[in-house]
């Protein structure tokens, strides 16, 4: 099956290349905002938008007026327009809100450029990018497939990254004749019907504590600057701390992403049918303090990784109805007595006397229910 796959690497541009990246990001934003303004006006007057082709022709004219637009990667400017046109199309289809103006202050600054005539290529440990030439890259794995586009990003921490999207052919994985049920947990990340659990609580709690501490320090620095009458942009200590917090967030994100990639790949490799709860159930159980926790965001990211990898590799994901009482039934005999509130972590069935760990039992019920619904289909 032909799929689009993204690779993300850290970039190490030279000072000169950094300036060029900043310029290209700025020009892409300028083009986006300028045409968004026109698009908004037209929409208000006529109820319709513009077209990509009309804007593209006008961009050519615009370059005569603002000659500095010619300095940067022209494909990046076209992509910016395409991006705007696509956002508006989605807005007209009521798939998302109307596009908004891009700001210099946005957390992540980026531009996208498309592959034509080998203008983007991997050369040893470097990537060739239009107008930039060869940029050093931390290549942690080989890029396989035909490159479609590349997005260059500057994060709030000041680091540069590139996402390369390729078209590549994937082969279905060998069948294993194994099925598994997964219960996503609050204290531990996940419980599996084969009895093991995946714990990321220690990591999460440690990082959360650290983040909170540094966040508080940031607020203190902001207050200090305010008391001294210094603007935050000029407050050195504040800015330094701000970068530190951004780096920390980035590290948490990367580690979490790594963890989820490894775990989902592992599951897809080892099982043919993967049964998992509909996440909305968890949404209702969730308490507000935990809603902010790092593990929280991970659930939906984890399920979406499982879903696309299953599609790539010929495996099946079965989602269990949100009303299925996975933690209430005895997985041994099917008996259900009384409601077991969240505090009850383990219990013994009054009929078959089997002793259950709450979450492992739930994952076993999820597996049984998933296999049942899968067989019906
Ligand atoms: Zn029982």
- Rank 133-137, 200-204, 301-305 by mean pLDDT and report only the highest: 133-137
Q: Which of 277, 296, 343, 375 is catalytic?
A: 277
Is residue 277 annotated as part of the catalytic site, yes or no?
Answer: yes
Confidence category of residue 131, pLDDT binned at 50, 70, 90: very high
160-210 pLDDT, tens digit each: 999 999 999 999 999 999 999 999 876 678 899 999 988 775 666 778 788
Q: What is the pTM of this model?
A: 0.77
Model pLDDT, residue 198: 86
Which of these ranges, 43-57, 124-138, 291-305, has the smallest mean pLDDT?
Answer: 291-305
Cα(first)–Cα(last) distance of the chain, in Å?
A: 24
**Residue 183 annotated to the active site:** yes
Choose the catalytic residue: 73, 183, 272, 369. 183
pLDDT of 13 strictly over 60: yes
pLDDT per residue over 342-369, tens digit each? 888 899 999 999 999 999 999 999 999 9
Ligand 1 centroid–CA 367 distance in Å is 16
Which pLDDT score, from 0 to 100, does residue 281 have?
Answer: 46
Distance 191 CA to ligand 1 centre (A): 20
Report how far ligand 1's centroid is from the alpha carbon of 352 (Å): 4
Share of the chain above pLDDT 90, in %: 69
Task: Report the pLDDT value the prediction gives residue 209, as an integer from 0 to 100.
Answer: 84
Q: Is 73 marked active-site?
A: no
pLDDT category of residue 158 using cuts at 50, 70 and 90: confident
**pLDDT of 99-112, one tens digit each?**
999 998 888 899 99
**Domain limits, the chain:** 2-169, 179-376
From the CA of 337, how far away is ligand 1's center (Å)?
A: 10
Average pLDDT in the 70-99 region? 93
Instruction: Report the separation in Å between the CA atom of 328 and the middle of ligand 1, taken as the mean of its atom positions.
Output: 11
Q: Does residue 147 surpass a pLDDT of 50?
A: yes
pLDDT at 251: 84
Q: What's the average model confidence in pLDDT over 316-342? A: 90
């Amino acid at each position: 099956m032909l799929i689009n796959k993204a690779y993300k690497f850290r970039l190490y541009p030279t000072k000169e290349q950094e300036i060029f990246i900043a310029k290209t990001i700025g020009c892409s934003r300028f083009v986006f905002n300028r045409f968004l303004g026109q698009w908004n006006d037209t929409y208000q007057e006529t109820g319709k938008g513009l077209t990509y082709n009309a804007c593209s022709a006008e961009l050519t004219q615009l370059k005569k007026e603002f000659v500095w637009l010619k300095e940067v990667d022209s494909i990046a400017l076209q992509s910016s327009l395409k991006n705007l046109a696509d956002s508006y199309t989605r807005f007209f289809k009521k798939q998302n809100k109307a596009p908004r103006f891009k700001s210099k202050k946005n957390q992540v600054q980026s531009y996208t450029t498309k592959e034509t005539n080998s203008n983007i290529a991997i050369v040893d440990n470097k990537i060739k990018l239009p107008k930039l030439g060869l940029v050093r890259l931390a290549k942690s794995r080989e890029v396989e497939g035909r490159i479609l586009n590349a997005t260059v990003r500057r994060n709030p921490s000041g680091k540069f990254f590139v996402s390369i999207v390729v078209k590549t052919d994937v082969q279905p994985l060998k069948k294993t004749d194994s099925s598994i049920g997964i219960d996503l947990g609050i204290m531990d990340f996940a419980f599996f019907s084969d009895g093991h659990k995946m714990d990321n609580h220690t990591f999460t709690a440690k990082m959360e504590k650290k983040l909170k501490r540094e966040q508080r320090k940031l607020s203190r620095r902001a207050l200090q600057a305010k008391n001294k009458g210094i603007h935050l942009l000029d407050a050195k200590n504040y800015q330094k701390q701000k970068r530190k917090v951004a780096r920390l967030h980035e590290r948490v994100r990367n580690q979490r992403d790594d963890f989820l990639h490894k775990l989902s790949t592992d599951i897809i490799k080892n099982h043919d049918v993967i049964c998992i709860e509909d996440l909305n159930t968890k949404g209702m159980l969730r308490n507000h303090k935990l809603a902010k926790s790092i593990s929280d965001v991970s659930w939906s990211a984890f399920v979406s990784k499982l879903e696309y990898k299953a599609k790539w590799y010929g495996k099946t994901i079965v989602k269990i109805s949100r009303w299925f009482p996975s933690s209430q039934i005895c997985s041994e005999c099917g008996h259900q007595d009384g409601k077991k509130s969240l505090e009850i972590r383990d219990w013994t069935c009054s009929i078959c006397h089997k002793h259950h760990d709450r979450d492992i039992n739930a994952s076993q019920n999820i597996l049984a229910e998933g296999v049942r619904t899968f067989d019906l289909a």
